[in-house]
Amino acid sequence: MSINEILSLALAGCGLLAIGLYIGGSTRSEDEKDPVPDDVVDDEDLFVGWDWLTPAARRYRLALYRRRVQARIVKQEREWLLARLKEAAEG
């Protein structure tokens, strides 16, 4: 095989790969496409379509989930501490 034949086959393979990725992405349903994580209200919706996400997108969503959980814990601890301070002030 000459270099021209090899390069032609490689270019054809890359073209077929690009076409396949385009068709595969356009035929996915709206449920499988990536919603914007910041707009997602429910934590369970962060993990919808997990299999389609890139590793970077997965890390981003896990970090977002972690921040949400930490914020809930801080809120609960603040409420608990305020209740204890009220009890101490009254009693």
Residue 27 confidence (pLDDT) above 80: no
Q: Counting every residue, how long is the chain?
A: 91
* Average pLDDT, integer, range 10-16: 81
Both tokens of residue 67? 């921040």
* Average pLDDT, integer, range 11-31: 72
Distance, CA of 46 to chain centre: 6
Rounded CA-CA distance 72/27 in Å is: 38
Q: What is the pLDDT of residue 35?
A: 53
Q: What is the pLDDT of residue 36?
A: 61
pLDDT band at 20 (very low <50, low <70, confident <90, very high): confident
pLDDT band at 29 (very low <50, low <70, confident <90, very high): low
